[in-house]
Structures are given as structure tokens and as C-alpha cells.
Amino acid sequence: MMKIIEHDGSIKEYDEKDPYVLSTLRHTASHVMAQAVKNLYPNAKLAIGPSIDTGFYYDIDFGEETLSEADLAKIESEMKKIVKKCLPLERFTLPREEALRFMEERQEPYKVELIEDLPEGEEISFFKQGEFTDLCAGPHVVNTKQVGKAFKLMSLAGAYWRGSEKNKMLTRIYGTAFLTKEELEEYLHMLEEAKRRDHRKLGKELGLFMMNDAGPGFPFFLPNGMKLRNALMEYWREIHAQNDYVEISTPVILNRKLWETSGHWDHYQENMYTTVIDGEDYAIKPMNCPGSILVYQNEPRSYRDLPLRMAECGLVHRHEKSGQLHGLMRVRCFTQDDAHIFITPEQIEDEITKIAGMIDQVYQMFGFKYYVELSTRPENSMGSDEDWAMAEDGLRNALERIGLPYIVNEGDGAFYGPKIDFHLQDSIGRTWQCGTIQLDFQLPQRFDLEYMGADGLKHRPIMLHRVCYGSVERFIGILIEHFAGAFPTWLAPVQVKIIPISDKTLDYGHKVLAALKDAGIRAELDDRSEKMGFKIREAQMKKIPYMLVVGPKEAEEGKVAVRSRFAGDEGARALETFIADIQKEIADRSIREEVKEEKKDGAQ
């Protein structure tokens, strides 16, 4: 159990497994770090220091002094001294005016500014540990020793005060903290593994995609990346056909009136790129849904047409700040694998059940585990309370009918409706929000959509917005890191590399290449004048699933010597047998387990 000083100063005990405990511990660690900084740099001015999902940070103004990564060890050492002293944390409050004088006397201008933003007459909360006092609402653990020895300062970054480019750039010190050393070591190992798997690094090494200053945030897919992408989209089209979707394509640019009707102009304009055509305002679409609505309106609809499942891999553009761009994970243009499904009220639960089953099938294909969140009405929303209640109940009832466990994420729905979000977990334990199902009463109303019911009267359809991959670009980035670039054979840009032992077997190598290509297998022939060992190692570095070594004996017998990422040396096999085996592996979209490093080394 862990004792925590709550926001009101009361002390409560919590099970250490409660996420609240770790968040509170990290918040206290940020105060310990701030105290260490003030001990070492007395003229430093403190801004804010919250806990975050990965640890904590503190934004600090060091004035003319410049910190480097090397200084983090010194600050961390000072933190350990503070922890060892087991200083109790004490909460106290002051009236607003006294609190202002208190921080002014300590020459903490950022704290003064924060207090000035608080209402008059409000009691201001502080936390004290030893000689160090900080403006803070809490909560905190009861003493510095509880921060323990499982903490580490990670990095430095720049951060504008209050996130505005008009304000001063501060130094942000990132750190992390855990309850045990083992958890910290596991986290640090995960970070090292994440560096090894970084999709930006692997994307360059494997020739998958590139970025260029001519278009910051606009990715370029290279030939190998297009092979991967096309394999991914072939599966997407296959599974959508199986689930009775029709595929459409809608324009990238549509006029302002459409976006005003949809609500995007009022709720999303700051993220939209606009232009003027023939004297009228137009916008490059940030979302595909209004285009799907126009397709729905193109002809009269009957209840017999519903559910009408329209899928679109549409290119969308959204303005992101330059500092937020990150490889394929955060871009300014991406392909959204959308579907917009028009249903009757009676079809809500059945359709959501089918969609959830389809998303589950997709994620299992790639070996992802996932958890589900129900995101409810945000502050910036449109529509009546009744519609929102009905929409949220529809999603909740469907989840409970499926028996799918979920957690509620209050206020994180789309502005037009609540949603179910699927957070998948990759091979090193990180989570990514990808799939989503959004239930929408608003857009059908705003566009006056209708269908003819069995009673001969006009009715309003309900609209479901749904993605599986989410952003195709981002999903590819996730796959690169999930598989560390070693894709399953069906996704690999190059599935087979043919390696002749010498020039004498080049002709047979070309015959093997032709046979593989005729069988629909993505293959290449390495005909360079390099040693065979060099060619094999390079193919391994490129993470190619299969290498076929061909020499005089293989040429004479019509065989290939098979080496793979999965089992090392697999021995000689008739070419026809190998083709049949790999075709089945590709068709099944199976994921073979990777060979252990020590075994691979031995196979070399």
C-alpha cells in the first residue's frame, strides 16, 4: 500500500498496482528534480512539472545558462541525495494575494503568472519538502524517500512557455520513475528496443519511404514501400469484399458550403488547408465523410438498401504544427481507410458487432493484441442531448452484447458523435490507437438524408464512421516497428533473393527468377560479382524472408538450396516444391516465428 496526500490535504492509502499511485509518484519525482535543480542552479526559474504517461517533466528557465545532456547525471545525483533524506511533503494554502507575494519574494515569475490566472478569493495550494516549496495542487506521496531509486532523467528539449511561439523558450527536462528497479530496467530496455525498431531508421535502410524539405510532413513512398503498401491494400480490399462493402472514391477538394453543412468549417477549420477556385472558397478534405454523404444522396434509397457499406481509402490533409511531425506517425497528408455505413436504428447493434468482428480479424492477422475505449461527448460538440444519449447507449449496448471489455474515455468523442476506439499493442508493449467506430446522428440530419421505409414513409438513416488501419501511413509505421522491419513473407517487399554461387550458374538463377515471378512471388536476383557470404549477409540485413542459393548441383537437379530468416539453412528443395510452399505461406498470410540470433549466427 502507498500513502498519498490528496488535493485537499487528506492522506489516503492505495494499492500500489493502482495507476494513480504511479502517476502520483512521478509527480513527486518532478518536484524532487525541481528541488535538485534549484540546489544546483539557484537562479533557475520554475514553470510547470506534471507527470505524463511515460514519466514526468519540468519546464525551467535557466536564463543565460545552457544545459547539456551531460548535466542530467549531475541533477540525478542531487535527486538521490534528496530522496535519501526522506523529506516529508507538507501541503499548505495561502490566500491569492499572499500567494502572489510569496512567489514574488522567491523571484518565480512563471508561478506568479499562474497564480494571477486563478480567480480572486481562491485559496492557493503549495507543497513543501525541506527548504523547497512549489506551487502545486497535488497529489503527492508522503515523503521523498518513496520516490525510491527507480528513477532516471532521460533527455532535454525546448518548450515554449504555455505552448505559444510568442513566449520564451524554456528547457524541458524529461525523466521517468517506477515503483521498482525491475520495472525501470524493463522500460529502459523497451526504449532501446524502440530505437532499434524506429520506423524512420528502418524505412531508410529498407528503402520504404522518404521525407523531403520540399514537403515537410508529406511522405514519399519508394518502390519497396509501395510493394508493402500494395500488399496491405490487397488484403484490405479482400476483407472488405468478404464483408459486403462497396468501394468508392471522392474528390480531394470540395467547396466551403459543403464543409459548413458538415460542421467541419466551424469545428475543424484551423486544421484545414483552403484555396479559392473561380472566386469561391474550397477546402482540401481533412476527412472523407462528407464525400460519402454526397454519394449516398446521389440516388433514392430504400430500407432494402440498408445497411449500405461504403468503403474509401481517401487521401486527406490536416495541418499539423512542424514540431509535432514524426515520420509516418504524424504527417500532414495520409490515406484514411474509411468506411461509412448507413443503417436503420434497428441495425445499430448488429452492425457494430460485425464491424468489431472484422477489426478483430484484421488485428489478429498481424498478431496484435488490443483493448477498447468508449469515448463520450466532448465539449466542442454539436447536436442535442437526446441524440448524444441515444448514440452513446447504442455503442455501450453493442459492446456489452459482444462481451468486449472496455473502459470509458470521458469527453474524447468526435464533435459529431461518440466512438469506440481500438488501441492495439505492438510486440514491445506500446499501444497505438488505430481502429474506431463512430455513431453519428448529426451529419444525416445536417444533410437531410433519408430512405423510404417499409411503411412507405421517409425516415432518417444513422451513419457509422469506421476505420480498421486508421491512417494507412501510420499503420505502416506501426508495422515497421512491430516487426522490426522483418515483415511476414506476404508483406515483405522482396520475398525471395536468388544468390548464384558463381557466374557459371547465372543462367539457372535467371530461370529460377522467371519461375518465381510467373508464380506471383516478389523475387530479385543478386548477380553482382561479390562473394556469396557477403550477398547472404546483405540479404539478412535487408530482412528478406528467403534466400535461394544456386550452384552447379542445384542447376543440374532443378533444385534450390533454401535459407530463411525463420530456420536458417532449410536444405535443398525442388524448385516446384519451394514455389508451392511459399505460395501457400503467402496465401495463408501466416507469420512464421523468427530464428533466434544465436542459431542464425551458427547458420552463417
Residue for cell digits 460485425?
A: 354
Residues 6+ apart with CB under 8 A from 106: 133
Axis crossing angle, helix 385-402 with helix 348-365, rounded to the nearest 10:
50
* Catalytic position from the list 289, 313, 333, 468: 289
d(CA 290, CA 25): 46
Q: Based on the residue annotation, tell me whether 333 is a catalytic residue of this protein.
A: no
**Closest among 292, 346, 295 to 459, alpha carbons compared:** 346
Find out whether the peptide bond into 307 is cis, omega within 30 degrees of 0: yes
Q: Decide: 199 and 329 in contact? Cβ < 8 Å.
A: yes
Q: Which three cell numbers stand for residue 244?
A: 459486403
* Catalytic position from the list 26, 229, 264, 318: 318
DSSP state of 596: P
DSSP 282-332: EEE-S-SHHHHHHHHHTS--BGGG-SEEEEEEEEEE----GGG-BTTTB-S
Q: Based on the residue annotation, tell me whether 289 is a catalytic residue of this protein.
A: yes
d(CA 535, CA 498): 10
Q: What angle do CA 321, 327, 330 make, to 5 degrees?
A: 45
Determine the residue type at 112: V
d(CA 239, CA 246): 11
DSSP 367-414: T-EEEEEEE---SS--S-HHHHHHHHHHHHHHHHHHT--EEEETT-SB
d(CA 471, CA 435): 9
* Catalytic position from the list 59, 338, 421, 440: 338
* Catalytic position from the list 35, 129, 146, 336: 336
| SS3 readout for 42-111 | CCCEECCCCEECCEEEEEEECCCCCCCCCHHHHHHHHHHHHHHCCCEEEEEEEEHHHHHHHHHHCCCHHH
Q: Based on the residue annotation, tell me whether 242 is a catalytic residue of this protein.
A: no
* Catalytic position from the list 317, 465, 482, 559: 465
Q: Based on the residue annotation, tell me whether 318 is a catalytic residue of this protein.
A: yes
Q: Based on the residue annotation, tell me whether 465 is a catalytic residue of this protein.
A: yes
Q: What residues pair up with 48 in beta bridges, in sequence order?
A: none
Q: Based on the residue annotation, tell me whether 338 is a catalytic residue of this protein.
A: yes
Catalytic residue numbers, as ranges: 289, 318, 336, 338, 340, 419, 465
